[in-house]
């Protein structure tokens, strides 16, 4: 699911982050760990603020699932994402160092697909994902913290909006501070992605190290290596994973749950225009873009379904974020 609010850090985990993501098949796994952000590039929020991001992926050939043959059919993809994060409450016990934080995140993403020469419809003309999420974070002791979250989102192809387009997810995860560089978390999430509410595992891995070159592993959002070119400019090489689940109409086979996957590798340049405003420009290659279609029921969760892919292609991404 395309979600918001991820990688939350308190004093044990540095600072709050508002992104959230997810992989469509195991939303609980990604629910509390990181956002399958609806964008390429580095414009996701790293604290309370507002961010806007635009992605463009030029014409890519369709690869059909039955024989992995590249077809004459092509798709151009454009995406616009807007997110906002707010700290509702933050309390710090000065005697113990314990922190309690309430965060609110709002996200909207619009994607358009320009499809040409398809014999049968595969990719929808457009997708919309919108979500509001409430999150609570507290430290339990110097080694452990707790994070809980509930979100309500609308994920649709805009053909017809019904209750089936509404995705509700909630969960809790316990985070262990291994050392100042590594945090591990495990918990559970409840989601209605497959119609009937079900419980799934939730995992979190955060590892950050380096001085001149910083290595940042934030599962399942990204793996990046970055360096400061100057106090105004940062450059990173990042591998990112995005995903989403949408309720779609008009499929001939009647399957309504569309799962979208995207993996990218690119250079991300961040210009610090001021203490609160950043401009981000990114570019690279999309290694994987694919969709599958399933019935929205638990019995179809782990069934094998044809994977419709788009050929590897370049992408460009630009965005602005403003911190409160």
pLDDT digits 0-9 by tens, 1-18? 333 333 333 222 333 333
pLDDT band at 166 (very low <50, low <70, confident <90, very high): very high
Q: 7-11, 167-171, 218-222, 280-284: which has the minimum mean pLDDT?
A: 7-11
For residue 156, give every residue at least 6 positions away whose Cβ sits within 8 Å of its Cβ, in sequence order, or none: 127, 128, 129, 165, 246, 247, 248
Closest residue by Cα to residue 100 from 46, 145, 151: 145
Tell me the C-alpha to C-alpha distance, in Å, between residue 155 and each of 1, 46, 60, 65, 324.
8, 24, 24, 25, 28
Q: Cβ(305)–Cβ(276) under 8 Å?
A: no
Look at residue 39 in the predicted model and tell me its pLDDT. 52
| Token pair in block for residue 110 | 């619009």
Decide if 204 is inside a domain: yes
- How much is the pLDDT for 316? 95
Residue 44 maps to a domain: no
HEC secondary structure over the chain: CCCCCCCCCCCCCCCCCCCCCCCCCCHHHHHCCCCCCCCCCCCCCCCCEEEEEEEEEEEEEEECCCCCCEEEEEEEEEEEEEEEEEEEEEEECCCCCCEEEEEEEEEEEEEEEEEECCCCCCCCCEEEEEEEEEEEEEECCCCEEEEEEEEEEEEECCCCCCHHHEEEEEEEEEEEECCCCEEEEEEEEEECCCCCCEEEEEEEEEEEECCCCEEEEEECCEEEEEEEEECCEEEEEEEEEEEEEEECCCCCCCCCEEEEEEEEEEEEEEEECCCCEEEEEEEEEEEEEEEEEECCCHHHCCCCCCCEEECCEEEEEEEEEEEC
Among 83-97, 204-218, 270-284, which is the least confidently predicted range?
A: 204-218
Q: Which of 5, 17, 3, 2 is nearest to 216 (CA)?
A: 17
Torsion of CA 156, 161, 164, 168, to 10 degrees: 70
Q: Residue 273 pLDDT more than 90? A: yes
23 — pLDDT class (breaks 50, 70, 90): very low
Asked if the structure places residue 146 within a domain, the reply is yes
Q: Is residue 24 part of a domain?
A: no
d(CA 312, CA 90): 44
The domain total for the chain is 1
In a domain, 45, yes or no: no
Average pLDDT in the chain: 82
307 vs 200: which has the higher pLDDT: 307
Nearest-angstrom CA–CA distance, 51 and 188: 29
Q: What is the mean pLDDT of residues 266-294?
A: 93
Per-residue pLDDT averaged across 81-108, rounded? 90
Q: Which domain holds residue 252?
A: 50-323
Would 38 be classed as within a structural domain? Answer: no
| Region 233-242 average pLDDT | 90
pTM: 0.83
Which whole number is the average pLDDT over 74-89? 93
Tell whether 4 is covered by a domain.
no
The pLDDT score that the predictor gives to residue 198 is 80
Work out the average pLDDT over 153-165.
91
Q: From the centroid of its chain, how far is CA 189?
A: 16
- Residue at 67 is within a domain: yes
**What pLDDT score was predicted for residue 298?**
74
% of the chain residues with pLDDT over 90: 46
């Amino acid at each position: 699911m395309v979600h918001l609010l991820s990688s939350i850090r308190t004093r044990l985990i540095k600072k709050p982050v508002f992104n959230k993501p997810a992989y469509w098949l195991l939303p609980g796994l990604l629910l509390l760990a990181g956002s399958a952000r609806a964008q390429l590039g580095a414009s996701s929020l790293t604290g309370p603020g507002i961010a806007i991001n635009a992605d463009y992926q030029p014409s890519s050939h369709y690869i059909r699932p039955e024989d992995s043959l590249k077809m004459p059919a092509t798709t151009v993809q454009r995406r616009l994402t807007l997110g906002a994060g707010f700290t509702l409450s933050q309390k710090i016990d000065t005697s113990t160092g314990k922190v309690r934080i309430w965060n609110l995140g709002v996200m909207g993403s619009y994607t358009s697909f320009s499809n040409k020469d398809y014999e049968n419809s595969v990719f929808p003309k457009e997708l919309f994902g919108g979500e509001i999420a409430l999150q609570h974070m507290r430290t339990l002791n110097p080694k452990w913290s707790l994070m809980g979250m509930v979100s309500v989102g609308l994920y649709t192809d805009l053909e017809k909006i019904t209750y089936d387009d509404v995705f509700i997810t909630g969960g809790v995860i316990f985070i262990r501070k291994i050392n100042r560089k590594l945090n591990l978390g495990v918990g559970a999430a409840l989601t209605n992605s497959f119609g009937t509410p079900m419980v799934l595992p939730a995992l979190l891995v955060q590892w950050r190290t380096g001085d001149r070159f910083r290595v940042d592993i934030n599962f399942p959002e990204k793996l990046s290596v970055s360096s400061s070119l100057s106090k105004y400019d940062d450059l990173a090489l990042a591998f990112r994973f995005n995903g989403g689940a949408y309720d779609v109409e008009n499929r001939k086979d009647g399957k309504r749950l569309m799962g979208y996957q995207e993996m990218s590798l690119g250079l991300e340049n961040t210009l610090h225009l001021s203490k609160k405003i950043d401009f981000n420009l990114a570019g690279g290659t999309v290694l994987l873009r694919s969709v599958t279609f399933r019935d929205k029921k638990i019995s179809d969760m782990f069934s094998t379904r044809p994977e419709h892919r788009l050929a590897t292609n370049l992408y460009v991404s630009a965005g602005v974020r403003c911190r409160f």
